[in-house]
Chains A and B, each alone.
Chain A
Amino acid sequence: MKPKVAVFDFTGCEGCELNKLNFEDELLAFLEHIDIVEWREAMDDKSDHYTIAIVEGSISTPDCVERIHDIRNRSEILIALGACAVQGGMNAMKNQYPLEQVREDVYGCHKDLFPTLPALPLSRYVRVDYEVRGCPMTKNEFLKILTSILMGKKPIKPTHAVCVECKLNENECVYDKGMVCLGPITRGGCDSLCTNFGQYCTGCRGLVDEPDVEAMLAILNRHGLSIVEAKKRLELFNYENQAL
């Protein structure tokens, strides 16, 4: 029997899911090896049990908390898809403000209609088996992880920095172009896509293990950002990272 795969979305932009619908070349081939049993964005069907649950978005309302526990209980393997699910992503930026204030700013006297919690990664609530990082999620990493699971192998989690891939791609260093870049401290695996296209690394794939934050701040500071500004750059996708 083919593995039953389901796709779920929580707080986020659904860009990672869209990226999956964008596997125009691979989609039909994958469908020969898996059964997609639930995917609200693409289909009506629902199922009770999943071999693999692919979950996008962060947890930010009481309703999300209930649903993610329910999904975990009914899944053998749970994959966190994209920056919001893996590390809280940009959503977590709101966690720097008191929730009461955030709600009042937006909805005014209607604030009590719409409950909200701090936006957190899935792993703060449930066990996560595999991570596909990036904003949006890195396509090749997703395909590798899914293929590994289907073949009974353990996918390799990248531990090197984006800089390593950027050098292998023989790009001119972003700093030499007069810009700042988070490549030295950001987890690789994206083949340095942004710097290949002349843009700086925004840190969307999260930080490396044991990141040297002080050294990174010093580099950013030396290249023109104040320490406050430098911290803000690092926090963009990584507000919930304990190292910051």
Chain B
Amino acid sequence: MTKDLNINVQHLTRVEGHGNIVVNMKNGKLEKARLEIVEAPRFFEAMLKGRSFHEAHIITSRICGICSLGHQIASLKATEHALGLEVSEQTILLRKLLIHGATIQSNILHAYFLATPDLLGVGSVFPLISSHKDVVVRALRMKKLANDIGDTVSGRAVHPITLVPGGFTHIPSVKELENLKKRLVEQMVPDALDTVETMVALAESVPHFNRETEYISLHSDSEYALYDGDIYSSDTGRSPVEKYLNMTNEFVVPYSTSKHAKHNRDSLMVGALARWNNNYKQMHDIAKNAGFRMGLTTPCTNPYMNTIAQVAEAIHCTLDAIDIIDRLLSKGLKNERPNQAPVQFGTGVAATEVPRGILYHEYTYNQQGQIEKANCIIPTGQNLGNIDDDMVKLVPEIIQEPKEKIVLNLEMLVRAYDPCISCSVHIMDVDFIE
């Protein structure tokens, strides 16, 4: 079949940041199919150079408003490794609770407000306020409670306040945690299960497309890995976090202000679907079964199903958050001061899972506790090559469809990855040479 096709979607909507979808086909031959990142780069190295270890996570948080908690967690862990700062079990549990809040918030925001309008054939969530008010109100209620976890434990869900190297500047009260638990049990659990029913009803509209790729995530023996673990590749197995550069291999492409990444193949995928594929066995049973009910398979090679994996994770995070609050309360909350006395100054690497995938931070500190060298590799940057490769396979498969349908399917594909473009152009991969 010979066909010409030119698609140029400028500043794709309902994604975080600025990207263009560009497809060119001439006489049935695909010349170009890619996501061009045009977000203004932000040059974080200039902001971090010479900064105190007290400030690193405050600065890197500003790489992205949506992923600010994840950046803080990765940053704090890297700083703590570099300075030899031990943290308490309570600190780790509170951090895990915050990760659950942030993951629920982000996944629900994406599933309901950014992805669902496509499945219902509308351009945004706003028309749904009149047509599906109960569903919108439910989504807002879930988002609010997820954000309230952040506000209660970290002072503010966007650019959290209380997290610092070595611990927290403020510990929530027993009453606040009991109240959060009550709302999680009485409100979030039923809302999350209703969300499954909504997604089951919408699942028919999820495009059928499969492309197997390399799935990379954290993996832990003890739990569904979000806070910590080893790096795990579906192609090559486990690898220590310190070897992260071997797993990412960033490179510049001329059409993107964000760098791309690759490992065992030309492209790789990170995020909820990669975590599901690598770690679904460790997900809470109710969440895992909900995943199967919504159509997830093991492995699942349809990238559009990333949104569905996010919903399964929201259920897992809800149930695990309840468990964490129980553990915190049964141990008794201690008004601990953060441990901020460095025992060394060197290099620290850390990885953590954020909603969009595995995030790496690395810092080297000088003897004054100031940053000498920094690197940060973002999930969306790791996914960009995979999005392009999906497009290259997808376009010929749907080329007989009308152009609007092709454009919509491409937009939905990019949105399914829930890309965070501000993050991807943070630009921090630099050695500072005095």
A: residues with CB less than 8 A from B are 9-19, 21-22, 24-25, 27-28, 31, 36, 39-45, 60-61, 63-64, 89-91, 93-94, 96-97, 102, 105-108, 110, 113-114, 116, 119, 135-136, 193-194, 196-199, 202, 229, 232, 236
Contact = CB atoms under 8 A, between A and B. Distances in A.
A20 to B, nearest CB: 10
Contact of A43 (B17, B124, B143, B422): B124
Contacts of A90: 47, 59, 62
Contacts of B129: 28, 31
Given A94-B42, A106-B41, A136-B65, 18 more contacts: A14-B65, A15-B64, A15-B65, A24-B141, A28-B129, A36-B126, A42-B114, A45-B123, A63-B38, A64-B40, A90-B62, A97-B46, A106-B45, A106-B430, A193-B155, A194-B161, A197-B170, A199-B161
B169 A197 contact: yes
A21 B113 contact: yes
B159 A15 contact: yes
13 contacts: A9-B18, A13-B68, A22-B158, A24-B144, A28-B137, A42-B125, A43-B125, A43-B126, A60-B40, A60-B42, A106-B427, A193-B161, A232-B51
B320 interface: no
A109 to B, nearest CB: 9
B64 A13 contact: yes
A-B pairs with lowest CB-CB distance, top 5? A15-B65, A43-B124, A198-B169, A44-B123, A197-B155
Interface string B321-343: 00000000000000000000000
A44 B124 contact: yes
A199 B169 contact: yes
A12 to B, nearest CB: 7
B109 A19 contact: no
Contacts of A196: 155
Contacts of A16: 65
B413 to A, nearest CB: 16
Interface stretch (B8-16, B191-199, B235-243, B269-277): B8-16
B159 A136 contact: yes
B13 A198 contact: no
A202 B422 contact: no
Contacts of B147: 22, 24
Given A24-B147, A199-B164, A193 B422 contact: no
Contacts of A24: 140-141, 143-144, 147
Given A22-B147, A41-B14, A232 B50 contact: yes
Secondary structure call for the B interface: loop
Nearest to A229: B52
A106 B43 contact: yes
B52 A10 contact: no
Nearest to A22: B147
A237 B302 CA distance: 43
A93 B40 contact: no
B252 interface: yes
Interface centre among A13, A43, A96 (most CB of B within 10 A): A13
Given A96-B46, A106-B429, A44 B140 contact: no
A14 B422 contact: yes
A7 to B, nearest CB: 12
Given A14-B16, A96-B46, A108 B252 contact: yes
Nearest to A36: B126
Interface string B135-162: 0110011011001000000111111011
Interface in B17-62: 17-18, 38, 40-43, 45-47, 50-52, 55, 58-59, 62
B126 A21 contact: no
B63 interface: yes
Nearest to B153: A197
A18 B40 contact: no
Contact of A42 (B14, B45, B66): B14
Contacts of B52: 229
Given A21-B109, A42-B113, A135-B62, A110 B252 contact: yes
Contacts of B162: 197-199
Interface in B53-99: 55, 58-59, 62-66, 68
Nearest to A90: B62
Contacts of B51: 232
